[in-house]
Every structure is written in structure tokens, then in C-alpha cells.
Structure 1
């Protein structure tokens, strides 16, 4: 999960999309949920990992 399009970059883009939607008064319910998930993932120290690493939130490691 290293390299690629980073989690923090995805979080930034989700924020930009959310802000653009607010300006035209359009709801982005799933976008807001995705933004919250990426925020939590980034706050766990995973901001430099590829955005696809978010699967780690759901995968149970043995």
C-alpha cells in the first residue's frame, strides 16, 4: 500500500468536492461518509499510504 495516490491526497480531494457541493447546495451523503472514513484512517497515522489501504479498516489481520 505504499506509493500511489496517498490517503491524505484523497482526503484533500474529498474535502474539495464536499465544499463544491455545499456551494451549489447539493447533498453528498456518501461523499461525506467517505471523507469521515479517510479522516479517521489518516488520523491513525496512515496518511502517506495509498488510498486503497483503507481496506485495512475492515480487514481482520490474523
Structure 2
């Protein structure tokens, strides 16, 4: 919900203060996405001692 409010604020900003607030909201969302990406990358990294998954080669058709 918070992202939708921020997106609406960015679309409807009419003055410099509104634009500044919208940019700050966009930065917060970008930081949140960056944090989520780091968490996802860490959770998908192979654990120490575990065998790394191997990619299957494409079989000819």
C-alpha cells in the first residue's frame, strides 16, 4: 500500500516540495528493493559444505 501511495504522490507532485518528497519516496523504494535483492541472493547462495547445483546441458531435439 505504501508503494502505491508513493507512486501516486510522484505522479501528482505539483510543486518543488512535492517533487522532493516524491524523489525521497522513490529512493526509499529503491533501497527497499536493493535490500530485498541482497536477501534473495543470500538465500539462494549455496550453503558451505553443500554441493553446488549443476546446470543440465541442453539436450538436442
Which range, TM-score by smaller chain? 0.3 to 0.5
Higher RCO (CA 8 Å, separation ≥ 6 residues): 1
TM-score, scaled to structure 2: 0.39
Q: Which one has a bigger Cα radius of gyration? A: 2
